Amino acid sequence: MKTTYLSAVIGALCAGLISVNSLASSHREAPNITRMPTLDSTDFYAFNSYESGRGDYVTLIANYIPLQDAYGGPNYFAMDPAGVYSIHIDNNGDAVEDLTYEFRFTQALADGEGVKLTVGPEGNTRSVAVPLKNVGGVSAGDMSAVNFSESYSVKLITGNRRTGTSADVMNATTPGTSFNKPLDFIGTKSFSSIEAYATYADSFIYDITIPNCSMAGRVFVGQRKDPFVVNLGKTFDLVNYVPVEGDSAPGAGDGEGFPGGITQAAGNDDLQFKNVTAIALEIPKACLTGGGNGSIGTWTTASLPQARILNPQAAFNNTEVNGGALTQVSRLGNPLVNELVIGLKDKDRFSSAEPKDDGQFADYVTHPSLPELLNILFKDAVNTTLGASLPTLAPTNIPRTDLVTAFLTGFPGVNQLATVTPSEMLRLNTGIGATPAAEQSPFGVAGNDLAGFPNGRRPGDDVVDIALRVVMGRLCYPIPVNGVDTDLGLCDPADANVGNVAFTDGAPLDASMMKATFPYLADPLPGSQ
């Protein structure tokens, strides 16, 4: 493909590429879930643990409550006590959960009614509850000033998530069935320093005893720095940048930089000052894979009871009455599917669906509308610039076998399960060893790193850039596998005129921005410093 042709394509696309979709992973991805942020799953990760000495484990992380401002007081960001948060594992490929880790949360005030202060002169005093979640300094060794607390339980359900066999996951650190969640990072006066908060939060990492599993795992639930990066504001502004790597951008392995292209820079990340709430599990591989081939399909959901009746005289822990069958309101496996693939009319339906029923969404993958929309918007401009008559900018391999493989079946020999049931799950081959953090490619498999996306997803995988390129036909071109350029046989270069363009939002992401130990996500930003 000639440089002049690529330059023309880039210039034409810069005015409006994917302006109709948010690229904020699963932040506010469907109309209904925008009304329930505490149940909104923002990102989901499944990867072979790369902490030193943890090679026999898989880490699963489900993030909730999007776009948290660190200064979000006085109430900050508690989980929904009526919600059921779940991480599901299919280990045989039938697109039905075989294992579900279910989290339920409770909240409490200190001494039942909260910390109170005596106010007024002698003879006319009142005991009055304070409005804040803490009344003094908090540390790992002293939580006497905490006025509000959250705890949670974890159950392992074998079989159907609603009717299967349920057993408690036990706290092996402080024996029992209950776990505590740290306060959000209110600020450096409440916790004395950033380092002190990190120590405090780490004290809420628990060893767990898992039913029918001979090895212990780990769990953590708490606020983290939002690990996702995206150039969100300019993307919404009709893509107010050229969405291809510029000349001064570091190479990403997929093409040259081009004049006028966007420079990779941390300042392009509109989520750089946002936090999120993470549910993190580390489970022995042997206790996840069952009788399958070592690959698993995973996803997270959140559910609420069908009915909610508001209390007209609301009080703490008595704001409503909830009843009826649990109803799924949020779902996330692979990133960006509900944003870039599913049509607006079906986004809420996708949020409530199960992988086994994903046949109803097949047309969105085999006949995706996004590339055709781009073609309608920009083909004439490209042809005018080139003085040519290109028939289309969209990939022409319909049905899109490449997208079916990426989103619905997995890649043979990489992350495909023993039985192939087309369904939207994040698939992970537990037999492919983890790549140490310092050696990871943010482009995963396409970056010659088989331990990364779409073989699971690690926090440092740049899924925005990967997804942009895949949708526009990257898999029609050879990709490096174990150092060798490999033709996947899914489509041909002639099927994708812009398939080897280095699309990017200019917001770089890599493993150095995360921790190299469980729970991997960086400590949250403080509400004040």
What's the pLDDT tens digit per position in 467-507?
888 988 999 999 888 778 999 999 999 999 888 878 787 88
Distance CA 66, CA 257 (A): 33
pLDDT at 378 over 80: no
Q: Are 514 and 47 contacting, i.e. CB atoms less than 8 angstroms apart?
A: no
What's the predicted TM-score (pTM) here? 0.91
| Backbone torsion region of residue 374, taken as left when φ is above 0, otherwise alpha when ψ lies between -120 and 50, otherwise beta | alpha
CA-CA distance, 86 to 99, in Å (whole number)? 10
CA–chain centroid gap for 233, Å, is 19
| Cα–Cα distance for residue pair 427/195, rounded to 1 Å | 35
Find out whether 246 and 258 touch, Cβ atoms under 8 Å.
Answer: yes
What is the tally of helices (H) and strands (E) in the chain?
9, 18
Look at 24-28, 132-136, 221-225, 401-405 and tell me which has the smallest mean pLDDT.
24-28
* CB proximity list for 512: less than 8 A, separation 6 or greater: 437, 438, 460
Q: Which helix (H) or strand (E) holds 235?
A: helix 232-236
Nearest to 334 by CA among 362, 365, 366, 299: 299
Q: How confident is the model at residue 7 (pLDDT cuts 50, 70, 90)?
A: very low
Question: Per residue in 325-347, pLDDT tens?
Answer: 999 999 999 998 887 788 889 98
Which of 517, 529, 509, 528 is CA-nearest to residue 226? 509
Cα–Cα nearest to 525, from 189, 68, 77, 200:
68
H-helix or E-strand spanning residue 311? strand 295-315
DSSP 237-295: TT--S-SBBBTTSPP-SS---BTTPBPP-GGG-TTTTEEEEEEEEEEEGGGT-TTSSSE
- Are 353 and 360 in contact by the 8 Å Cβ rule? The answer is yes
Spatial strand order in the sheet of 274-284: 41-48, 57-69, 274-284, 217-225, 206-209, 170-171
